[in-house]
Structure 1
Amino acid sequence: MNLRPAKNSLFAILLRSPAWISFAIAVGLGTAAAALLPDGYRALGASAGLPFAVIGAMAAWRQRQLPGAAEIERIRETVARMAWPAFADLLEQAFRREGHTVIRGDGRAWDFDIELGGQRTRVAARRWKSAQTGLDTLRALQATREADDVAQARVIGLGPLSDAARAFASDKGIEVWQAPEIARALHGPLPTR
């Protein structure tokens, strides 16, 4: 039984959004129901906002330890100074902390295969310092993903994707991790050098 909402469902979007949005929807629905329904149905109608209040509470719980802008920038600067072996070790530790099993890749088209709950993700991260992630990196990752029948793919980099790479990632369903996602994954103390 899969209890995860579809990626682009309303509830999944609200879980990724600031919690106050869900709370505002809950209050708006409750207020509208209380104002528009007959006396006998107002209490029941006001409860229509309850699912949104629950989603707001879940979003607030998830977001309670998310790094702020200053922390994201500090982590971005720290990992930008790292050599690949140190950054790869940090990523592997982060994946394992989330419960993934981790296999190191060949370093050409992909760097990690991570698996959680039977779901494999192929990860390309070696070019994380590049000023811009281009289409070649994503095409190589996608080719190995298709050849090995891997369900998901992720590219990790501090620089933005080129327009062509962004369109390709969107079309092929490749997840993109940039500074905010890297900071979330590498929460906790990092080396200062």
Structure 2
Amino acid sequence: MKFRMAERSLFAILLRSPWWISLALAGVIALIARLALPAEMFWFGAMGGFPFLVIAVMAARRQMKEPSAARVQQTLEAAGAMSWRDFSAALEDGWLKQGFTVNRRHGRDAEGADFAIHKAGVTTLVSGKRWKAASLGVEPLRELKAAIDKAEASAGLFVALGDVTPQAAKFAKDNHIRVLQAPELVSLLRDTPLGTASRG
């Protein structure tokens, strides 16, 4: 069984927070140990801050890999101005660089999903043709879910630049569909010059 950290646990919250917060907590614990404990017990007390130091390092590494706000905005604007032909080629290029096998779906197979991507024995159906929609509702997700069930795929992925309604977010969560938005979309496309991706 895989261990999953609760999203609302202190450690999970700190991982999503600026790295220096965890570092500051480790420093506070060390300071308290210095003031409250005898000198020979200082290191023992200060070790209580070690988990926060580890979280600070993990958070810093994660945040260094995240694209800047300017990069996110620039990429989203470029993606929003692209044709489906160019945008789909960019998506395909991004997945191929991540080690996925990518199959475009055609004809009746394209109902509800535009791609089937495969990696490590897992097949994910992807819907991306409505990426420019200002708001994502439940209906496109229902179509993707129907395609997933029909193909007996493992999961679903919906690419969206716009907002996601609360109902759509709940439906996606309940049906193992991940909505790919910024900055994940930016990370996927970071090594692909938008507008010039080749159709592999």
Structure 2 length-normalised TM: 0.78
Deviation at 1:125, TM superposition (A): 1.2
Cα distance, 1:191–1:146 mapped onto 2, change above 3 Å: closer
Are 2:34 and 1:31 equivalent residues in the alignment? no
Larger deviation, residues 110-119 vs 82-91: 110-119
Residues 29-178 of structure 1 correspond to what in structure 2 (within 5 A)?
29-37=29-37, 39-105=39-105, 106-178=109-181
1:40 Cα deviation from its structure 2 partner: 4.0
C-alpha contact 1:125 1:156 (8 A) present in aligned 2:
yes
Shifted more, 32-41 versus 115-124: the winner is 32-41
Cα distance in structure 1, aligned partners of 2:57 and 2:191: 24
SS of the equivalent of 2:136 reads coil
Instruction: Identify which of structures 1 and 2 has the higher relative contact order when contacts are C-alpha pairs closer than 8 Å and 6+ apart.
Output: 2
Distance 1:138 1:72, change over 3 A: same
Residue by residue over 1:72-108, the C-alpha shift from the partner in whole angstroms, topping out at 9 and shown as x without a partner, is 1111111111111211111112122222232323432
Give the CA deviation at 1:160. Answer: 0.8
- Pairwise CA distance, 1:189: 5.7
Identity of aligned residues (%): 38
Q: Which runs of 5+ in 1 are unaligned?
A: none
How many residue pairs get matched? 192
Looking at CA atoms only, which structure, 1 or 2, has the larger radius of gyration? Answer: 2
Deviation at 1:136, TM superposition (A): 0.8
C-alpha displacement at 1:37, in angstroms? 4.6
**Match status 1:180 vs 2:180:** no
CA–CA distance in 2 between the matches of 1:13 and 1:114?
31
Unaligned runs of 5+ in 2: none
Over 3 Å counting, the alpha-carbon distance change for 1:102 and 1:28 in structure 2 is farther
Query: Structure 1-normalised TM-score?
Result: 0.81
Cα RMSD, aligned residues only: 2.8
